[in-house]
Each structure stands twice: as C-alpha cells, then as structure tokens.
A and B are shown apart, each in its own frame.
Chain A
C-alpha cells in the first residue's frame, strides 16, 4: 500500500517507464522460507497448502513461482473429420513442459500486469516464458494455439495457474513482511519443485531466492507404486487374487444371509 508510485497516474506512467528501461534500480534484501519444507504423499493426501513467508525491503514487490520438473509429454490433438466428427488426430510431442507452474503475484503486481499484459513477456516470469522454452514436434503445428490448449488442460488439473490475492503484506518500519498460502493440488506429480521468491522493483528482479520443495509418495502409496512399477507381473497377479477373494467373501456373506431366510 505504501508503494509511492501508486499515488498518481503521472507516477504510474513513470513506473512503467522505469520498469521498461530499468531505471530506478535499487538493492533489496529478501528472506524467505517454505513450510512445510517437503510434501509427503500418503494414503490420505488430498493436496496441501504451503506457506511461503519472509521479509523484503520496502518498495519491492513479491512474486512467487512454484515450478515443477521439465518433462517431455505426448498429446493427441483433437480435430474434425469429414467436417462433422471430433476425434483424436495427430500426436503432438512437447519438450520442456514444467509439470507445474503456479504464479502468485502481489496485488500490486497483479494489477499492473493485468493493465499491461504485454509485460508478462518482458519480465520472463509468466506463461509466455514457458511457451518460449517449449519445443514442439511436429514443428508445423501452430504453437500459439497448441500452447493455449495446453494451458487449459493444465489449469483444469490445477497444476498451472495464477493464484491471486495469495500474497499478504504486513508493514513494519523498514521492511515488509510477506506471507503467501498456496494450495498444491492432489494431482501433484512426485518430484522436486522449485519455489522461487522474487523481489521485483523498477521492472527488475532485484533479488531472488530459490528453495527446493521435494514431493514424494510415502507409506502405503509408495509401497504400491514401487510394486506396480518394479514388479508389474506380481502386482497384477496379486491384484487379481485379492479381487477374486474379495468377490468370494462378499458372495459367501450374501449366501449366509440368504440361508437364514
């Protein structure tokens, strides 16, 4: 709220100028931590809130990004056949697709980026940057269109998105204390995530802190996964045997009930 350049439109215009030209560069101090420092995916896991908090010097704005490991993924593109029927057509391969991309800008940054959507590109912090890094096969495909659809798909799964109003400031004398609560969806693929805390001012990333956030399956889910992927045949046979046993037990239970009548 004390960001002085918000006060008048003239000053806002100056900010944009500063953001674009890089004038007004100042140093910022930044501290931050993530709680919890790792994610355990157990039997009752249903997504998890993480809290990112710390201090930043006054005047700088906070933007948090949580990115997943980059992977190659394969998709089917849907299209029309005979001008009538929608179905899967070409296979599309993409490389360098982050498994997650959650962005939480401070209110000020969010407003500013909303008014100047082009700025996402120049900051290199938004989805535009993800698009630029992705390589697409076959190259003849329309990258903009495909990326739009990829965003829709990932946003629906809760793996990509902009988390508005997540960053909350508490103002002190010289520093601003920030705290952000971000929900990670239950469909979070296991892996190591990067939590990037960025202090932004004058169109620059003044300071950056990157914290690793490992997410792994534990307990029964971890046991089942390793059995399924490392001993597939045994896992399949066990699944069938347990299913037959369960079916028989339930069958016997019902026969018992019927016999009583």
Chain B
C-alpha cells in the first residue's frame, strides 16, 4: 500500500523509502550547504531508478530543498547575495563551457575514464585537505591560529589584493576583487558540468579556502547558488531528455525540505571546524565508494544507455 508508480522512471517505488532518503540527504544539505546530488543520485540508482532519471529528478528535488534551505539561512543572515551572484555568473559561464568540453571528450573516446578519474581525485584531494586542515586548526589554540593567518600575507593574499575591482562583501566580512568569485565560479562550473553534479561539494571548499568566507555564510551562499544552477538543469533536462520524474522529485522534496530545515538549525550548534571535519569524512567515504566501484568487477557487464 505504500507504493506509488513513477511515470517517467517507469517503475513503482516505496513512498516511505523515498521520503526517508530525501530526509537524510536534505539534513546533510541543510548542515553543509551541499546539494547532496553526489549522494542522492547513486542511492536512487541503487533502488532501481534509471541513472538519467535519477540525476535529473534529483536536480528538480534540489530546487525545492535549496529554496527551503536558502530561505532558512537567509533569515539567519547567512546568505551573501553579492558574492553568490558573482559565483553564479561564473558558474553559468563555466557550466556552458564544461558541456562543450564533455562533447569534445566524448568525441575523442574515453570520456568516462576521465570523468571517473577526475571525480575520485577531486573528492580525494578536497576531502583530505579539509580533514587535515580542520584537525590542525582544532589542535592549535585559537590565538595562535589567529596569529598564524595574520602573520602570513602569502603570495596568494598579495595577489588577491592587487587585483582590480576590489569590493567589500558585508555578509562575509571580506574584501576582494569581484574577479575572484567570478573566476572561481567558472572553475567550479566547468568541473560540475564535466562530473555531472551540482558542484556544492567543490564550491564549499573553494569558498572556505580560496574566498576566505566564514563557514556559516558559506553554507547559506552555497545553497543560494545551487538553487539557480538546479533550476537551469531541471528545465534543460525536462526539455531535451525527458528525464525529470516529477512524482519522484516531489516525494524526495518533501523529505529533503523537512531535513534541510532541521539541518539548518543543527548547523548553528556546530562549530565551523566540526562542520568541515564531518563534511570531509562524508566526501572521503563517497570517494572510497567510487574507487571500489572502479576496482571491483561489476555483477553485470552491460548497462543501459539513457532511459528505456
């Protein structure tokens, strides 16, 4: 009785299972400001949803969840709209370029190989760096950590200062050239398009380490940016590939919106360093899972292309 038929996926599913799945991923998304696509899509595939439908419906779901999450964080003063808009413009430019790069790679063959390797390396690098950095700064006393960052006007910081178009971002409390978020947006957009994900888990470390934004503002701003990216992806997928299953998305959405609200509240009780450590561990788990997927012989040596 708890089953519902998904017309685009062409299969039935347990309503409670999908609500629960949405809830868990939404909770993580509310805490960390990641869309959760890199967790949700593989889980849906595991439960028998065709891969293309899983990815596209998940984007539709993230639109709702990130609306709810952005809204919650906005009320808490955690969204840097100015920074978000620059990242977004860069993201759209980068994403469009990334799609072209993918086309060229597919033409050359071995695109899947490059995508998988990029995925594992990125996840491994980002996860390890965040984990090590957070553990180190927890060990150090707060005053020492402060002294360390102020004493070190590194080449990177000098470069940031020398760029034209310096702006002050009030919400984040940082001053930098508008070119920085623009270029970073392009970079993440390209990677996200190549890897076929929203890019939240790359965007978050970029904002923390390269844009030097405070962790809580990072989460809200990231959700803000993800919202717009996924609106675009959902409409494109629905229009050109017919892979958005609205019933699936709505079920996931109800679960994940509730989860995101709870997550946003929980995130207030966690310190920035703790957030980073937990996110780093999740990213590393996903990396190990992907790596195992590449190393272990699959049960079936054929897979469908596209929907069927």
Contacts and interface: CB of A to CB of B under 8 A. Distances in A.
Contacts of A220: 7
A74 B305 contact: yes
B250 interface: yes
B238 A228 contact: yes
A86 B5 contact: no
B300 interface: yes
A156 interface: yes
A237 B3 CA distance: 27
Interface in B11-29: 11-12
B301 A149 contact: yes
- B11, B72, B298 pick with most chain A CB within 10 angstroms: B11
B230 to A, nearest CB: 8
A189 B294 contact: no
A74 B11 contact: no
Contacts of B302: 75-78, 92, 146, 149-150, 152-153
Nearest to A235: B238
Given A41-B5, A86-B297, A250-B261, A186 B11 contact: yes
A160 to B, nearest CB: 13
Contacts of A92: 302
Contacts of B10: 187, 189-190
A187 B48 contact: yes
Interface stretch (A6-14, A110-118, A174-182, A239-247): A239-247
Contacts of A73: 304, 308
Contacts of A156: 300
B12 A246 contact: no
A43 B6 CA distance: 8
A246 B257 CA distance: 8
A79 B298 CA distance: 9
Nearest to A157: B48
A46 B5 CA distance: 7
B222 to A, nearest CB: 16
B249 A243 contact: yes
- B48, B66, B238, B244 pick with most chain A CB within 10 angstroms: B238
B65 interface: yes
Given A75-B303, A187-B11, A244-B64, A232 B261 contact: no
B246 A235 contact: yes
B4 A43 contact: yes
A42 B116 CA distance: 38
A44 B239 contact: no
Contacts of B235: 233, 236-237, 240
A175 to B, nearest CB: 38
A248 interface: yes
A21 B84 CA distance: 79
Interface string B284-301: 000000000111111111
Interface size class of B (residues with CB under 8 A): 35 or more
Interface string B247-278: 10110011001100100000000000000000
Given A43-B4, A44-B4, A240-B235, A248 B68 contact: yes
Contact of A224 (B8, B67, B231): B8
A149 to B, nearest CB: 4
B5 A186 contact: yes
A247 B258 CA distance: 9
A130 interface: no
B164 interface: no
Interface in A201-245: 217, 220-222, 224-225, 228-229, 232-233, 235-240, 242-244
Nearest to B247: A224
Interface string B20-53: 0000000000000000000000000000100000
Given A236-B235, A239-B246, A243-B61, A217 B305 contact: no
B133 interface: no
A153 to B, nearest CB: 5
Nearest to A229: B242
A76 B112 CA distance: 11
Nearest to B304: A75
7 contacts: A44-B5, A75-B302, A84-B295, A228-B8, A239-B238, A254-B68, A254-B72
What 5 A-B pairs are tightest by C-beta distance, nearest first?
A236-B238, A247-B67, A221-B7, A243-B64, A251-B71
Given A77-B302, A239-B63, A243-B253, 11 more contacts: A73-B308, A81-B113, A88-B303, A186-B3, A189-B10, A221-B7, A239-B244, A239-B249, A242-B246, A243-B64, A247-B63
